[in-house]
Protein backbone atom coordinates (compact mmCIF):
# COMPACT_ATOMS: atom_id res chain seq x y z
CA UNK A 1 0.00 0.00 0.00
CA UNK A 2 1.24 3.49 -0.83
CA UNK A 3 2.94 5.08 2.16
CA UNK A 4 2.74 8.73 3.12
CA UNK A 5 5.12 10.81 1.03
CA UNK A 6 7.80 11.73 3.59
CA UNK A 7 9.49 14.13 1.19
CA UNK A 8 6.28 16.09 0.70
CA UNK A 9 5.86 16.33 4.45
CA UNK A 10 9.42 17.60 4.93
CA UNK A 11 8.83 20.32 2.34
CA UNK A 12 5.60 21.34 4.05
CA UNK A 13 7.52 21.65 7.31
CA UNK A 14 10.00 24.01 5.64
CA UNK A 15 12.91 21.58 5.76
CA UNK A 16 15.68 21.50 3.15
CA UNK A 17 16.06 18.23 1.27
CA UNK A 18 18.88 16.91 -0.90
CA UNK A 19 19.16 14.35 -3.67
CA UNK A 20 21.05 13.52 -6.87
CA UNK A 21 19.91 12.89 -10.41
CA UNK A 22 20.30 9.29 -11.60
CA UNK A 23 21.30 7.95 -15.00
CA UNK A 24 22.59 4.51 -13.95
CA UNK A 25 20.13 1.61 -13.95
CA UNK A 26 21.73 -0.52 -11.21
CA UNK A 27 19.44 -0.50 -8.14
CA UNK A 28 22.52 -0.70 -5.91
CA UNK A 29 23.33 2.91 -6.77
CA UNK A 30 20.06 4.30 -5.41
CA UNK A 31 20.45 2.09 -2.33
CA UNK A 32 23.91 3.58 -1.75
CA UNK A 33 22.50 7.10 -1.99
CA UNK A 34 19.84 6.15 0.57
CA UNK A 35 22.42 4.76 2.99
CA UNK A 36 24.52 7.91 2.49
CA UNK A 37 21.60 9.97 3.81
CA UNK A 38 20.11 11.65 0.74
CA UNK A 39 16.40 12.44 1.03
CA UNK A 40 15.42 11.74 -2.59
CA UNK A 41 16.81 10.63 -5.94
CA UNK A 42 15.63 11.89 -9.33
CA UNK A 43 15.45 9.08 -11.87
CA UNK A 44 16.23 10.90 -15.10
CA UNK A 45 14.26 9.89 -18.17
CA UNK A 46 14.92 13.16 -20.00
CA UNK A 47 18.71 12.91 -20.26
CA UNK A 48 20.44 9.53 -20.43
CA UNK A 49 19.51 5.94 -21.30
CA UNK A 50 16.97 5.02 -18.62
CA UNK A 51 13.55 3.67 -19.60
CA UNK A 52 10.32 3.40 -17.61
CA UNK A 53 10.97 -0.33 -17.27
CA UNK A 54 14.45 0.12 -15.79
CA UNK A 55 13.14 2.95 -13.60
CA UNK A 56 10.60 0.63 -12.00
CA UNK A 57 13.33 -1.43 -10.31
CA UNK A 58 15.00 1.76 -9.12
CA UNK A 59 11.71 2.79 -7.50
CA UNK A 60 11.47 -0.58 -5.75
CA UNK A 61 15.03 -0.27 -4.44
CA UNK A 62 14.44 3.31 -3.31
CA UNK A 63 11.35 2.39 -1.30
CA UNK A 64 13.12 -0.54 0.36
CA UNK A 65 16.12 1.60 1.26
CA UNK A 66 14.07 4.55 2.49
CA UNK A 67 14.80 7.24 -0.10
CA UNK A 68 12.03 9.03 -2.01
CA UNK A 69 12.01 8.23 -5.76
CA UNK A 70 11.19 11.06 -8.16
CA UNK A 71 11.16 10.81 -11.96
CA UNK A 72 12.02 13.56 -14.40
CA UNK A 73 9.94 12.79 -17.46
CA UNK A 74 11.09 13.56 -20.99
CA UNK A 75 8.49 16.25 -21.59
CA UNK A 76 5.13 17.61 -20.49
CA UNK A 77 3.08 14.90 -22.15
CA UNK A 78 0.23 13.31 -20.14
CA UNK A 79 0.94 9.72 -21.12
CA UNK A 80 4.59 10.00 -20.09
CA UNK A 81 3.64 11.48 -16.73
CA UNK A 82 1.01 8.75 -16.31
CA UNK A 83 3.47 5.94 -17.07
CA UNK A 84 5.99 7.31 -14.59
CA UNK A 85 3.40 7.53 -11.82
CA UNK A 86 1.93 4.11 -12.56
CA UNK A 87 5.22 2.39 -11.62
CA UNK A 88 4.84 3.86 -8.13
CA UNK A 89 7.18 6.84 -8.24
CA UNK A 90 6.38 9.40 -5.52
CA UNK A 91 6.62 12.48 -7.71
CA UNK A 92 7.27 13.81 -11.19
CA UNK A 93 9.52 16.61 -12.38
CA UNK A 94 8.17 18.12 -15.56
CA UNK A 95 10.67 20.02 -17.76
CA UNK A 96 10.19 23.20 -19.78
CA UNK A 97 7.07 24.61 -18.12
CA UNK A 98 6.72 28.19 -19.31
CA UNK A 99 3.05 29.17 -19.01
CA UNK A 100 -0.06 28.72 -16.90
CA UNK A 101 -1.42 26.35 -19.56
CA UNK A 102 1.63 24.08 -19.46
CA UNK A 103 1.59 24.08 -15.65
CA UNK A 104 -2.10 23.13 -15.64
CA UNK A 105 -1.37 20.34 -18.13
CA UNK A 106 1.27 18.87 -15.82
CA UNK A 107 -1.01 18.92 -12.77
CA UNK A 108 -3.96 17.46 -14.68
CA UNK A 109 -1.78 14.60 -15.91
CA UNK A 110 -0.49 13.85 -12.41
CA UNK A 111 -3.75 14.02 -10.45
CA UNK A 112 -7.02 12.13 -10.55
CA UNK A 113 -10.42 13.81 -10.49
CA UNK A 114 -11.36 16.25 -9.00
CA UNK A 115 -7.84 17.75 -9.17
CA UNK A 116 -6.94 16.42 -12.60
CA UNK A 117 -7.51 13.99 -15.42
CA UNK A 118 -4.88 11.30 -14.85
CA UNK A 119 -5.68 8.13 -16.76
CA UNK A 120 -7.37 5.59 -14.50
CA UNK A 121 -6.00 2.07 -14.10
CA UNK A 122 -5.65 0.19 -10.80
CA UNK A 123 -3.79 -2.74 -12.33
CA UNK A 124 -0.41 -1.09 -11.89
CA UNK A 125 2.32 -1.09 -9.26
CA UNK A 126 1.22 2.29 -7.87
CA UNK A 127 -2.12 0.73 -6.82
CA UNK A 128 -0.54 -2.52 -5.63
CA UNK A 129 -1.79 -4.20 -8.81
CA UNK A 130 -5.43 -3.58 -7.69
CA UNK A 131 -4.90 -4.75 -4.07
CA UNK A 132 -5.24 -1.11 -2.93
CA UNK A 133 -8.93 -0.41 -2.25
CA UNK A 134 -10.20 1.57 -5.24
CA UNK A 135 -12.14 4.02 -3.09
CA UNK A 136 -9.00 4.84 -1.10
CA UNK A 137 -6.32 4.67 -3.77
CA UNK A 138 -7.34 7.67 -5.90
CA UNK A 139 -7.52 10.25 -3.09
CA UNK A 140 -4.36 8.77 -1.55
CA UNK A 141 -2.52 9.15 -4.85
CA UNK A 142 -3.66 12.76 -5.18
CA UNK A 143 -2.52 13.54 -1.66
CA UNK A 144 0.88 11.86 -1.86
CA UNK A 145 2.03 12.65 -5.39
CA UNK A 146 4.54 15.49 -5.69
CA UNK A 147 4.38 17.71 -8.75
CA UNK A 148 7.53 19.66 -9.59
CA UNK A 149 7.68 21.94 -12.62
CA UNK A 150 10.86 23.21 -14.23
CA UNK A 151 11.30 26.89 -14.96
CA UNK A 152 14.15 26.80 -17.45
CA UNK A 153 13.91 29.90 -19.58
CA UNK A 154 12.99 33.55 -19.68
CA UNK A 155 9.45 32.77 -20.82
CA UNK A 156 8.87 30.71 -17.69
CA UNK A 157 10.24 33.46 -15.47
CA UNK A 158 8.05 36.05 -17.19
CA UNK A 159 4.93 33.91 -16.64
CA UNK A 160 5.89 32.78 -13.14
CA UNK A 161 3.10 34.62 -11.32
CA UNK A 162 0.39 32.80 -13.26
CA UNK A 163 2.24 29.47 -12.97
CA UNK A 164 2.38 29.88 -9.18
CA UNK A 165 -1.40 30.38 -9.12
CA UNK A 166 -1.99 26.86 -10.50
CA UNK A 167 -3.24 24.60 -7.67
CA UNK A 168 -1.34 21.36 -7.15
CA UNK A 169 2.23 22.51 -7.81
CA UNK A 170 4.51 21.53 -4.94
CA UNK A 171 7.90 22.75 -6.18
CA UNK A 172 9.12 25.28 -8.74
CA UNK A 173 12.44 23.86 -9.97
CA UNK A 174 14.93 26.32 -11.44
CA UNK A 175 16.96 24.70 -14.24
CA UNK A 176 20.15 26.81 -14.00
CA UNK A 177 21.87 25.55 -17.13
CA UNK A 178 18.88 25.99 -19.42
CA UNK A 179 18.18 29.34 -17.79
CA UNK A 180 21.74 30.44 -18.51
CA UNK A 181 21.31 29.42 -22.14
CA UNK A 182 18.07 31.38 -22.48
CA UNK A 183 19.99 34.46 -21.31
CA UNK A 184 22.67 33.92 -23.94
CA UNK A 185 25.13 32.69 -21.32
CA UNK A 186 25.19 28.89 -21.80
CA UNK A 187 26.82 27.14 -18.87
CA UNK A 188 27.52 30.35 -16.92
CA UNK A 189 25.24 29.44 -14.01
CA UNK A 190 27.05 31.79 -11.63
CA UNK A 191 26.77 34.82 -13.91
CA UNK A 192 25.07 37.75 -12.11
CA UNK A 193 22.25 37.87 -14.68
CA UNK A 194 21.45 34.17 -14.20
CA UNK A 195 21.61 34.47 -10.41
CA UNK A 196 19.37 37.55 -10.50
CA UNK A 197 16.67 35.70 -12.45
CA UNK A 198 16.89 32.73 -10.08
CA UNK A 199 16.50 35.05 -7.09
CA UNK A 200 13.46 36.57 -8.74
CA UNK A 201 11.89 33.10 -8.95
CA UNK A 202 12.70 32.37 -5.30
CA UNK A 203 11.17 35.64 -4.07
CA UNK A 204 7.96 35.27 -6.07
CA UNK A 205 7.53 31.62 -5.03
CA UNK A 206 8.13 32.48 -1.37
CA UNK A 207 5.38 35.10 -1.57
CA UNK A 208 2.96 32.36 -2.75
CA UNK A 209 4.34 29.82 -0.25
CA UNK A 210 5.52 27.43 -2.96
CA UNK A 211 8.81 25.58 -2.41
CA UNK A 212 11.71 26.15 -4.80
CA UNK A 213 14.29 23.68 -6.05
CA UNK A 214 17.43 23.90 -8.13
CA UNK A 215 20.41 21.90 -9.34
CA UNK A 216 23.93 22.35 -7.95
CA UNK A 217 27.16 20.50 -8.60
CA UNK A 218 29.25 21.79 -5.70
CA UNK A 219 28.69 21.79 -1.97
CA UNK A 220 29.43 25.52 -1.90
CA UNK A 221 26.62 26.20 -4.37
CA UNK A 222 24.31 24.02 -2.29
CA UNK A 223 25.03 26.14 0.77
CA UNK A 224 24.52 29.36 -1.18
CA UNK A 225 21.12 28.44 -2.57
CA UNK A 226 20.00 26.94 0.73
CA UNK A 227 20.76 30.28 2.43
CA UNK A 228 18.72 32.03 -0.28
CA UNK A 229 15.67 29.93 0.54
CA UNK A 230 15.86 26.95 -1.81
CA UNK A 231 14.42 23.87 -0.08
CA UNK A 232 14.75 21.19 -2.73
CA UNK A 233 18.40 20.92 -3.71
CA UNK A 234 19.42 18.45 -6.38
CA UNK A 235 23.10 17.71 -5.88
CA UNK A 236 24.91 16.57 -9.03
CA UNK A 237 24.39 13.31 -10.94
CA UNK A 238 25.30 9.74 -10.05
CA UNK A 239 27.82 9.42 -12.89
CA UNK A 240 29.40 12.76 -12.00
CA UNK A 241 29.64 11.85 -8.31
CA UNK A 242 31.35 8.56 -9.27
CA UNK A 243 33.71 10.34 -11.64
CA UNK A 244 34.70 13.08 -9.20
CA UNK A 245 35.32 10.62 -6.35
CA UNK A 246 37.35 8.35 -8.63
CA UNK A 247 39.35 11.26 -10.02
CA UNK A 248 40.23 12.49 -6.53
CA UNK A 249 41.33 9.01 -5.43
CA UNK A 250 43.49 8.44 -8.51
CA UNK A 251 45.06 11.89 -8.16
CA UNK A 252 46.02 11.20 -4.55
CA UNK A 253 47.35 7.74 -5.37
CA UNK A 254 49.59 9.06 -8.17
CA UNK A 255 51.07 11.66 -5.83
CA UNK A 256 52.22 8.79 -3.64
Cα 219 off chain centre by: 19
**How long, in residues, is the chain?**
256
Beta carbons of 46 and 23 less than 8 angstroms apart: no
Tell me: domain 6-254, CATH 3.20.20.60, correct?
A: yes
Segment 213-230 mean pLDDT: 96
Q: What is the pLDDT of residue 3?
A: 66
Name, in order, each residue with C-beta under 8 angstroms of 89's C-beta and a sequence gap of 6 or more: 43, 55, 59, 69, 70, 71, 126
Beta carbons of 46 and 72 less than 8 angstroms apart: yes
Alpha-helical segments (H) within 1-76: 6-12, 27-36, 52-65
pLDDT exceeds cutoff 60 at 2: no
Is 191 a catalytic site residue? Answer: no
pLDDT, tens only, 235-254: 999 999 999 999 999 999 99
Segment 58-71 mean pLDDT: 98
Beta carbons of 7 and 68 less than 8 angstroms apart: yes
CA atoms within 13 A on the CB side of 197: 29
DSSP SS3 for 50:
coil
d(CA 141, CA 3): 10
With b for 16 or more beta-carbon neighbours within 10 A and e for fewer, the 83-117 pattern comes to bbbbbbbbbbbbbbbbebebbbbbbbbbbbeebbb
Q: What is the pLDDT of residue 255?
A: 86
pLDDT confidence tier of residue 1, bands split at 50, 70 and 90: very low
pLDDT, tens only, 112-145: 999 999 999 999 999 999 999 999 999 999 999 9
Work out the mean pLDDT of the chain and round it to a whole number: 96
Segment 153-160 mean pLDDT: 94
Segment 178-197 mean pLDDT: 94
d(CA 149, CA 136): 27
pLDDT exceeds cutoff 90 at 4: no
Catalytic option among 47, 90, 150, 159? 47
Q: What is the pLDDT of residue 139?
A: 95
CA angle 76, 172, 48 (to 5 degrees): 50
pLDDT, tens only, 6-62: 999 999 999 999 999 999 999 999 999 999 999 999 999 999 999 999 999 999 999
Amino acid sequence: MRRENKLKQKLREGKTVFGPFMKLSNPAVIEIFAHAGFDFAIIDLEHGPLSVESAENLVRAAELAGITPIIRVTDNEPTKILRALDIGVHGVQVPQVSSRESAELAVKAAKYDPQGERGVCRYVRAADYSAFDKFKYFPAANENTLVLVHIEGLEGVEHLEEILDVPGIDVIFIGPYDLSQSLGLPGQVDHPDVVAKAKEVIEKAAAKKVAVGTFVDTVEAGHKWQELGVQYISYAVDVGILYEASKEIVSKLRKG
